[in-house]
Amino acid sequence: MYIAIEGIDTAGKSTQIEALSKHFSDALITKEPGGTDLGVLVREIVLDAKAKSKKAEFLLFLADRAEHIAEVIKPNIEHKMIISDRSAISGVAYALVQNSISKEELKSFNDFATDTIYPHKVFLLQLTKKELEYRLSRKELDGIELRGSEYLLNIQNSIIEAAKILQIDLVTIDATLDREKITQKIIENIER
């Protein structure tokens, strides 16, 4: 089974993935971008806001996604539990916010990059504006976070729309719940 944990920055993705890796001890843990050698470079470029063109940023995400599917997902999807920090949904969500490419093109480009291999289930850790701003105030911000809470909340809303465009099962979880409750909700949904 291939699952992804989605959410805007500070939503608790890393915390949940760590907890899930303990419960599913044989799972392959990966991330997008950054799950391959190429992905590490793409992640650095995106987080440092080095790409000035939004189209260039979108294409970087697609390049990472194609490499991630080929190197990590395809070789393991049949015999391992794969838990990914983000997925194609994030790339589509960011592109939706940029509003420079149609939904049909987004689907087509992502189908091409992924060979239509998408997570079986995606969990969105959803934050309120108040909680997001509190969490952002407590950390040093990267290039994406510096775009502000409104931008990040638009991404969060676009994650829901992206799941519909890609026709992926999305489970929304309140990210302000206790960490253990969030983990339990995810595990219960996976094991159904």
| pLDDT for 30 beyond 80 | yes
CA distance 172 to 180: 16
CA distance 189 to 192: 5
The pLDDT-based confidence of 54 (bands split at 50, 70, 90) is confident
Closest CA to 152 of 125, 182, 170, 179: 125
- If you average pLDDT over residues 171-181, what whole number do you get? 97
Residue 24 has what pLDDT? 97
Residue 3 has what pLDDT? 97
Alpha-carbon distance values, 9 to 44, 116, 165, 192 (Å): 15, 26, 22, 28
| pLDDT for 48 beyond 80 | no
Residue 140 has what pLDDT? 81
For strand 2-6 and strand 121-126, is the pairing parallel, antiparallel, or unpaired?
parallel
CB 175 within 8 A of CB 128: no
Residue 100 has what pLDDT? 81
Residue 14 has what pLDDT? 94
Structure token pair of residue 18: 């760590």
Q: What are the structural domains, with CATH classification, of the chain? A: 2-190 (3.40.50.300)
The pLDDT-based confidence of 43 (bands split at 50, 70, 90) is confident
Q: Is 126 helix (H, G, I), strand (E, B) or coil?
A: strand
- If you average pLDDT over residues 14-42, what whole number do you get? 94
The predicted-structure confidence for 123-172, as pLDDT tens digits, reads as follows: 999 999 999 888 888 888 766 767 778 889 999 999 999 999 999 999 99
